Amino acid sequence: ECFAIGKRAVVCQDTEMKGEIDIGSGTVLHPQCKIVAESGPIIIGSNNIIEENVTIINKQPTPLIIGDENVFEVGCYVEGSRIGNKNVVEAKARILGTTSLGDNCVIGAVCSTKRDEAILDNTVIYGDHHNRRIQTASGGQQSSLHARHLEYLREITLPTLHFFLGKSFLVLNHRGSDSAIEEASDVKFSPLITSILDTIVALTYQLLWVYPIFVLSFVLNAMWYQEIADRAYRLYHGRPPINSNRTYPRALKVIADEIYRALLFMNYLMVATIVYVIPVIGPIMSFMYFCWIYAYYSFEYKWINQGWSLEQRIGYFEERWSYFAGFGFMFTVITFFVDQFLSAGVFALLFPLYIIMANNALPMPRHNENARFSSLVPYRLRVFWVAEKLNDKIIGGLRSICLSIR
């Protein structure tokens, strides 16, 4: 095996090359093409494009010489004795035997030459019957497009292929053996361009697809959850009471309660996540935290429709902490041990069912059953105590900042 690869030539790692092969500067060999110098050498000129699954084989003892700026499209098969310059061999086309090809020729898709013919310059072979004609257009515009195509391949297409498929590329400029190419096979093509493309593709995917879909799903789910909760409440309990006290102070209190509630649950989830790292007991504590919060989410729609304040909801919940731990247990088992995105999808699917169950549930124990509890089991467990303390610290800090500004 003896290969010579010119300056700026790009050879994909899984290209198959056998025999004595000379690849000119700027030529690009796509993945899975095959260059076989079976009986004689193959000399490929400059700035050629050889696409996927192309086979170029020399079965003659004399060299197969390929000129400059040719394009060999996907799956074509090339034997022949000489290929000129600026030719296009389209997909699945075949150049057979000892045929020679002039300059600026086009061998149409799936078309074939005879086994031994000299094809004149500017010949076009086309159609089911391999018809021939001579084209009259000059190749100036084609050369310009070809140059841009090559640059696009080097700077965009092949780095992108490397990003998605993990391909490695050789960019070599020396004469050597097959072992020399193997030693260089870990050299990555255009690492800076590849890194930039990695970042651009990832950011584009996240910003234009993942996050918009997530936000849209969140908004739609919130609307649908509320509608499901309202209909379930009307089915089991009738219409919710209408609050006629719509004064300005009342509106301010509702807004303040919602801000406090959002901050409370943010702190609660933060605590549930942080405790997970505690050795041994951390995962168990985190699991229980999620059991409670899933149960609370399920029941909160019902309690809001009943007109309960946040203090009433939390008090009622903490007095029945064991019931709510059991209510949220299976939900947590299903979502706690899987990937975050899968967990979010399962949550969105099952949560409406839990809202409906919560509207018809009767949490235990009721107030007149307080005496049944053992002294070792607390009647009220302060599930939200840590989150409430964090809320107080944050609100106190904000109040101090506001007072200092004044």
132-151: string of b/e by CB count within 10 Å (b at 16+)?
Answer: eeeeeeebeeebeebeebbe
8-state DSSP, 187: P
Q: Which residues contact 117 (CB under 8 A, 6 or more apart)?
A: 99, 100
pLDDT at 356 over 90: yes
pLDDT at 366 over 70: no
Give the right CATH number for 2-189 from 3.10.20.520, 3.40.190.10, 2.160.10.10, 1.10.150.120.
Answer: 2.160.10.10
**Overall pTM surpassing 0.85 (yes/no):** no
Strands 42-44 and 20-23: parallel
pLDDT at 43 over 90: yes
Nearest CA to 181 out of 48, 55, 3 is that of 3
> What's the mean pLDDT in 115-138?
90
What per-residue confidence (pLDDT) applies to 189? Answer: 45
Q: What is the pLDDT of residues 268-313, one digit of tens each?
A: 999 999 999 999 999 999 999 999 999 999 999 999 999 898 899 9
pLDDT at 318 over 50: yes
What per-residue confidence (pLDDT) applies to 204? Answer: 82
pLDDT at 351 over 80: yes
pLDDT at 150 over 80: no
Q: Determine the Cα–Cα distance for residues 58 and 63; give it in Å rounded to an integer.
A: 7
What per-residue confidence (pLDDT) applies to 178? Answer: 43
> What's the mean pLDDT in 78-101?
94
Q: Domain limits of the chain?
A: 2-189, 195-405
Q: Which residues contact 230 (CB under 8 A, 6 or more apart)?
A: 240, 301, 305
What per-residue confidence (pLDDT) applies to 382? Answer: 92
Tally of CB atoms within 10 A around 349: 10
What per-residue confidence (pLDDT) applies to 357? Answer: 95
pLDDT category at 345 given cuts 50, 70, 90 is confident
Q: What is the pLDDT of residues 235-277, one digit of tens each?
A: 988 888 766 666 777 777 778 888 888 899 999 999 999 999 9
Both tokens of 125, joined, read 């072979």
What per-residue confidence (pLDDT) applies to 248? Answer: 73
What per-residue confidence (pLDDT) applies to 5? Answer: 87
- What mean pLDDT is reported for the chain? 83
Dihedral pair phi/psi, residue 291, rounded to 5°: -55, -45
Contact 90, 73 (CB under 8 A): yes
Q: Determine the Cα–Cα distance for residues 296 and 303; give it in Å rounded to an integer.
A: 10
Q: What is the pLDDT of residues 7-34, one digit of tens each?
A: 888 887 778 999 999 999 888 888 889 9
Beta bridge partner(s), residue 125:
107, 132
What per-residue confidence (pLDDT) applies to 137? Answer: 65
Stronger pLDDT, 101 or 378, i.e. the higher one: 101
What per-residue confidence (pLDDT) applies to 164? Answer: 55
What per-residue confidence (pLDDT) applies to 252? Answer: 79
pLDDT at 70 over 70: yes
Give percent above pLDDT 90 in the chain: 51
Q: What is the pLDDT of residues 161-197, one digit of tens each?
A: 555 555 455 444 444 444 444 433 444 445 565 567 6
Helix (H, G, I), strand (E, B) or coil at 282: helix
Q: Determine the Cα–Cα distance for residues 140 and 152; give it in Å rounded to an integer.
A: 19
Instruction: Give the position of tokens 């004149």.
Output: 120
The distance of Cα 344 from the centroid of its chain, to the nearest Å, equals 17
Nearest CA to 156 out of 16, 28, 295 is that of 28
Sheet strands (E) in 51-101: 55-58, 64-66, 71-72, 77-78, 82-83, 88-89, 94-95, 100-101
> What's the mean pLDDT in 80-109?
94
